[in-house]
Structures are given as C-alpha cells and as structure tokens.
C-alpha cells in the first residue's frame, strides 16, 4: 500500500494518503451538498462555512473518542493519543460533526432539518472515500484469511505480513450503493439522514463479522453495538418525521 505520498521539503511534514482521501471526501461532499441545497431552493453559500464547522467538529470529535477509548482500554496517556497524527475514529467524527453541524446551521440561520437531508448522500460518498484512505494506509483491516482477494499490509497500522480481509473495501462496496440509494430517495424520504444512519449501522453489523475487534457486550463488538444504536436512532427519527407529515418547503423554513 501507499501510506505516505511525499514529504514537504523544509518543514519535513509527510502527506499521507489517508489525509488526501479525507480531504477529497470533504470536497466531494461539499459539491454534492451544494447541488442538493440548490435543488431545495436554499442558498448554497453558507454550505462552505457549515461544512468547515462539520470538518473541524468531526476531526476533534474523532480524536477525543479515540483518545478516550484507547486510554481507558489500554492505559496509554490520553494527551499523547489526542495529539498523535494517528487515530481517527469514525464514530467520534460522526458525533462531533453532527454537533458542529447543528451549531453551524443555527449560527448561519439554515434549516437544520433541510441541511441534514441535503448532506445525507454526501456523508455516505465522503465516508467511502475516507475508507479508501484507510485501505491505502493499511488501517482497519480484517481477520486473517486465504480468500482470493485477501491482502497483506506490511506497512499497515499495525503491519501484517499475513493476508487479511480488506474490510475497508467491503465498506466502500456498501457505502457507494448507499450513496446512490440516498440520492434516489432525496425527494421521497421524510428524513433522509435517518436512512443514512440506519444503513450505515446495518453495514457495520455485517462487516464486523470479518474484522478483529473484541466482543464487548452480548457477543457483539463495540462497532456492532454502535451500529445497532445507529439503526435504532435512524429508524426512530425516520418514523418520527414520517408521522409529522411533509415539512414546509425548505426555502420557507430557512
């Protein structure tokens, strides 16, 4: 794989493939969200600012989750983990990004519900690009296997010379159709973000079968427990907004 692309001369800063793919995920998500905002009759100009809020909230949330989780489970110093370049946890990023997105929508006076529905397909597409980044740096791979498509990650995090399930690509193979489905559902769903959460959680439940995380509750791993939570929250919010009936036009709400 290719964990590092190049080093910037003078400052000796290494640009990683994961960082590039994460940036592309944000840019692609920005483009999709702008298109959707225009379709909803909303001014796409605040999207840039709100997505910056989400990006910062997502990175901070992912680092806080990672540092807290690993320090509690393995005893590593919290601040060493917090300020390390490694350690981007999707769950923390989702929580931090969601909180920052809500605050950003209120600050810029954009309908939170309309923005949540507009950004849902972008979340799935951007997450797929991020998982490609995980694959390129050799992070979050699965169990040892001899299936024909198994891959080793000699420069991974951690390195492995045994062939393993490329579970990062399994997620990509799930998330790309999910993004297409959400785009198709964009004018049909009472709460599109709820569908994203539920589908994401369902993918996590299944793909964890090939990953190496420890079981923590009732035979389930931590990602599977969170995946179940995402399904419950997503379906619950979807049913709530369905019961409320069609919302006002987005432009009128804004």
The pLDDT of residue 206 is: 94
Q: Using one digit for the tens of pLDDT, what is the confidence trace for 105-157?
A: 888 888 888 888 989 999 999 999 989 988 988 888 999 999 999 999 998 87
162: left (phi over 0), alpha (psi -120 to 50) or beta: beta
User: Given a cut of 90, is residue 89 above it in pLDDT?
Assistant: no
User: Given a cut of 50, is residue 251 above it in pLDDT?
Assistant: no
Classify burial at 182, counting beta carbons within 10 Å of its beta carbon; exposed 0-12, middle 13-18, buried 19 or more.
Answer: buried
Distance CA 228, CA 218 (A): 12
18 HSE (CA, 13 A, CB side): 18
pLDDT band of residue 237 (cuts 50, 70, 90) is very high
């Amino acid at each position: 794989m290719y964990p590092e692309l190049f080093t910037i001369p003078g400052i000796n800063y290494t640009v990683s493939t994961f960082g590039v793919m994460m940036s592309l995920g944000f840019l692609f998500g920005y483009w999709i969200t702008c298109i959707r905002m225009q379709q909803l009759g909303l001014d796409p100009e605040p999207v840039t600012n709100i997505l910056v809020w989400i990006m910062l909230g997502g990175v901070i949330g992912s680092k806080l989750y990672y540092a807290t989780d690993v320090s509690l489970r393995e005893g590593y110093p919290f601040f060493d983990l917090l300020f390390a370049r490694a350690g981007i946890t999707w769950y923390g990023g989702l929580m931090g990004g969601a909180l920052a997105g809500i605050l950003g929508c209120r600050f810029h006076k954009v309908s939170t519900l309309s923005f949540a529905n507009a950004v849902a397909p972008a979340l799935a597409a951007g997450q797929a690009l991020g998982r490609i980044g995980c694959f390129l740096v050799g992070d979050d791979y699965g169990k040892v296997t001899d299936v024909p498509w198994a891959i080793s990650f000699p420069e991974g995090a951690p390195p492995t010379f045994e062939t393993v399930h490329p579970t990062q690509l399994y997620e990509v193979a799930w998330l790309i159709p999910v993004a297409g489905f959400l785009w198709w559902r964009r004018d049909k769903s009472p709460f599109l973000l709820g569908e994203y959460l539920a589908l994401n959680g369902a993918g996590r439940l299944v793909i964890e079968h090939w990953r190496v995380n420890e079981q923590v509750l009732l035979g389930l791993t931590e990602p599977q427990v969170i995946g179940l939570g995402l399904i419950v929250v997503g379906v619950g919010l979807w049913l709530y907004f369905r019961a409320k009936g069609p919302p006002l036009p987005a432009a009128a709400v804004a």
